Structure 1
Amino acid sequence: MIYPTRRAIFLLLAGAPVALALGLLRPELWLVAPGWIAVILACALLDAAAGAQPRHLALDAHFPYQVGVGDPFKLALSARGRSVPERAEIALSLDERLARGGRLAGHMRATDDNETPTLARTLPLTAARRGQAQVEALWIRWTGPLGLVWKQRRFAIDRAISVVPSLRAVTEEGSRLFQRNSWFGLRQQRFRGEGTEYEALAEYHPGMDRRAIDWNASARHVKLLAKEYRVERDNRVVLAIDGGRTMAEPVGGMPRVDRAVSAALLLAYVGLKLGDRISLFSFAAQPQAMTPAYMHTQDFPALQRAASLIDYAHVESNFTLALTTLSAQLNRRSLIILFTEFTDATSADLMIRAAGRLAKKHRLLFVVMKDEEVESEERRRPESAADVTRANVAAAMLRDRQLVIARLQRLGADVIEVPADAMGAGAVEAYLGIKRAGSL
């Protein structure tokens, strides 16, 4: 496509007052006006014929077919042809999961890396939500040597990027946690004496729990022997993810539910490594999915696929129905780790009641993200009456939040508040603490 630039239009319009003045003063010079128009049109045609032509370009677009939500990636664009301009403008049409508004604009520049003249540009992108993100089309345009016409071409890309739960936390944070806790080759030494399952008899040393002394074995061996215990294995752990309205709100550019899914996958990876039975449960207005209990690391991809199906919902979460359904499917005492969010005591009342019934049989751990935006409003120094109002509202919201946490703790549930970026590590540390205490 070739069309005039602003320069060409302004030059045509600039000739109008001159032609009008000549028509009034020297009517015989009326041919100047059409002559001026003819000159501009001739220059525009010459400009269109000179330089690089859009029809000679071929586009190569390289990007991954699958990315994790919140993980940065690169989209590489290159246009090759017989000749290319030094600089061109681009506009990319793509899914709103990849760019706000579904559009990106920028520039491409000529490179000398290849024998074939090439325009190249690499765009850094980040997927904000899970799902199929379509990369639709790219427009490239540049001006001719005289700057009178735009030369433009549209390239249809029509390829999709699958945005799935991020495994970056599993690969990076999981490796750090394993190294820090020295699990490889040292697991038995690390967990001895901290669990409830009998491990071995050892000679009693000062500082050991006297209640662990085995008096019968000590009498037979004529020396004090104490029982050593290890953390129990084969526990049932349910990772319950709330997918309701409050969890669909973004925190740091990513919805809360996506952060919860990433943290749950990290926790599932650690649990499978430690020999526990891990299952995934999601709910919103009604229960959505409940996976079988997996206990081998080779089953981790099945958990990842189930996590990728957790959808965004803009309805209130039905905790009564969800937790009742979950309790009916558990036939043994389990650790239920619930990733959720609550804003005030009134809306959380039904959740507290349902959690109270569940806590009578199972161990509950609530994982919630710190509301750093509300905390910053509460701490910010007020400079106007509106700031004072915002600070008071923020303080009231934080008080209600702490009231909900206190009520859950009185029911026997554990509650941890963690920053959004440290959600996975915080949940893993809490899980390991429960295992070390042997309170499952």
Structure 2
Amino acid sequence: MTWRAGALLAAGAATLPLWPAPFVAMVVMTVAVLALAAVDRALAAPPGELAVDRHGDRRVRLGGTATVTLRLTNASARTLRAQVRDDWVPSAGARPDLPPGRLVRVEPGGTVELPTRLTPLRRGDRPAAVVTVRSFGPLRLAFRQRSGRPATPPWTLRVLPRFDSRRHLPERLARLRVIQGSQVARGRGEGTEFDTLREYLVGDDVRSIDWRASARRADVLVRTWRPERDRRLVCVLDTGRTSAVRMGDEPRLDTCIDAALLLTALAARAGDRVDLIAADAVVRATVTGAGRPALLARLVDAVAPLQPALGETDFGLIAGEVLRRERRRSLLVLFTALEPGALGEGLLPVLPRLAARHRVVVAATHDPVLTTLTTAAPTRPGDPYAAAVAWRALAERGRVRAALGRHGVTVVDATADGLAPAVADAYLRLKALGQL
């Protein structure tokens, strides 16, 4: 029953002093109100005869707004007067257009649409939780209610990464065009793809002399090379426990995803094949470079539901997957953390196998708070101890970088805001030097 039944009973109770037998009067009033409530409930439209479905957006970028509409069709012979509540998980940021408590009226055979605006707070899949329909009688003294799976059509909104690093793409594409020679200032690197022949100049490497062409022209000619095209790039996302560490306002995994998207967009424009592997103790997602026009969209959709796992990363598994999938020499970009424990026990033992076949780049983010602690003037008794801990952490990161460098690994260590452009610059530098 609703509050109206209680109010009706309270109004009748106010007349009890006028009755010769107040107890009997109270019993009669209670029975009458209960009978009216039972009749009112029987006259309410049965929620079980409602057809409920949804339509609307399936994907939205983090920070954007999507609209998902709930459609109710009254298949009963009675008019529906109902309160409808469409619940989503809290991180979906649901805001229904219909104010809470407002009644929805649907005639027999009629349909009503109730839109809900969603502004998600986190990346990933955000499912609809439950739909609750509370159907009232004509007097609104009682209601019928239905909720749960029968009344809740399944719907999942996939929240895609924000891709803030897109703003760095035009500048990097301009540099890529210079490297590829599509502008007047054509860059020539020490690549392996033949470009042109030209006359020998003092200082040229004698190993680049083309003796056959020189014999035909009766002049000394040298070969020039251009950076490689149509190369292979493998992005590996470490989704283990270190990816859950927050760098500013977001986890390290989100920062690495943003950097991987910028690198993928740049490499796809360069005509390179891009593969992606996300793994920790198991492989979470894989994307191959087939179908390059839709590569970035497929990669964004694949990494959207990734979440950090609270376990150690199995770098042996990652190395096995890379070596099994990539037979040709590739540029391997590993997005992880420069933590001595994780890399020393996991990555360094398998690194020689990877470096022997592929060109390896380790991309990691560091917390700028460490640098701040080492440079700030102490103002509290505990500040020198915090600075000592920061110096020790930075020294350990330096030892890890040196260990990786001994295996020929390029290390990109930047802040969360600078990781994406730093990785893109490293890719362009390797491409210009012909070291992919």
Q: Does 1:436 align with 2:432?
A: yes
Amino acid in structure 1 at the alignment position of 2:85: I
Q: Of 114, 120, 124, which aligns to 2:114?
A: 120
Distance 1:218 1:379, change over 3 A: same
**Deviation of 1:365 (Å):** 1.0
Of 137-146 and 275-284, the range deviating more from structure 2: 137-146
Contact 2:95 2:116 in 1 (8 A): no
Q: Of 128, 135, 141, which aligns to 1:135?
A: 128
- Residue of structure 2 in register with 1:108 after alignment: 98
Q: Of 24, 30, 48, which aligns to 1:31?
A: 24
SS in 2 for 1:341: coil
TM-score computed with the length of structure 2 as normaliser: 0.66
Distance 2:127 2:277 in 1: 29
Q: Does 1:264 align with 2:266?
A: no
**Deviation of 1:337 (Å):** 0.6
Contact 1:140 1:153 in 2 (8 A): yes
Distance 1:145 1:395 in 2: 74
- Residue of structure 1 in register with 2:2 after alignment: 4
Contact 1:279 1:290 in 2 (8 A): yes
- Residue of structure 1 in register with 2:295 after alignment: 300
Distance 1:158 1:300 in 2: 31
**Deviation of 1:435 (Å):** 0.9
Contact 2:316 2:346 in 1 (8 A): yes
Distance 1:39 1:394 in 2: 77
Contact 1:170 1:266 in 2 (8 A): no
Distance 1:359 1:153 in 2: 61
Distance 1:414 1:263 in 2: 16
**Deviation of 1:336 (Å):** 1.3
Distance 1:229 1:345 in 2: 40
SS in 2 for 1:348: helix
- Residue of structure 2 in register with 1:350 after alignment: 345
Tell me which of the two structures has the higher relative contact order, counting C-alpha pairs closer than 8 angstroms and 6 or more residues apart. Answer: 2
SS in 1 for 2:57: coil
Distance 1:79 1:387 in 2: 62
- Residue of structure 1 in register with 2:233 after alignment: 237
Contact 1:89 1:107 in 2 (8 A): no
SS in 2 for 1:199: strand
Distance 1:209 1:328, change over 3 A: farther
TM-score computed with the length of structure 1 as normaliser: 0.65
Distance 2:141 2:369 in 1: 51
SS in 2 for 1:61: strand
- Residue of structure 1 in register with 2:56 after alignment: 63
**Deviation of 1:236 (Å):** 3.4
Distance 1:45 1:382 in 2: 75
**Deviation of 1:274 (Å):** 1.9
SS in 2 for 1:416: strand
Amino acid in structure 1 at the alignment position of 2:234: V
Q: Of 332, 336, 348, which aligns to 1:340?
A: 336
Distance 1:58 1:319, change over 3 A: closer
Amino acid in structure 2 at the alignment position of 1:139: T
Distance 1:75 1:418 in 2: 39
SS in 2 for 1:316: coil
Can you list the C-alpha shifts for 1:396-418, whole angstroms capped at 9, x where unaligned? 55554454335434543222245
Distance 2:340 2:111 in 1: 65
SS in 1 for 2:345: helix
Amino acid in structure 2 at the alignment position of 1:439: Q
Distance 2:420 2:359 in 1: 19
Structure 1: any 5+ residue segments left out of the alignment? none
Distance 1:73 1:105 in 2: 10
Contact 1:359 1:411 in 2 (8 A): yes
SS in 2 for 1:30: helix
SS in 2 for 1:31: helix
- Residue of structure 1 in register with 2:359 after alignment: 363
**Deviation of 1:338 (Å):** 0.6
Distance 2:320 2:351 in 1: 11
**Deviation of 1:37 (Å):** 3.0
**Deviation of 1:30 (Å):** 2.5
Q: What's the Cα RMSD here?
A: 5.8
Distance 1:381 1:11 in 2: 72
- Residue of structure 1 in register with 2:70 after alignment: 77
Distance 1:229 1:121, change over 3 A: same
Amino acid in structure 2 at the alignment position of 1:192: G
**Deviation of 1:144 (Å):** 7.9
Distance 1:18 1:318 in 2: 78
Amino acid in structure 2 at the alignment position of 1:123: R
Distance 1:59 1:329 in 2: 46
Contact 2:179 2:432 in 1 (8 A): no
- Residue of structure 1 in register with 2:182 after alignment: 188
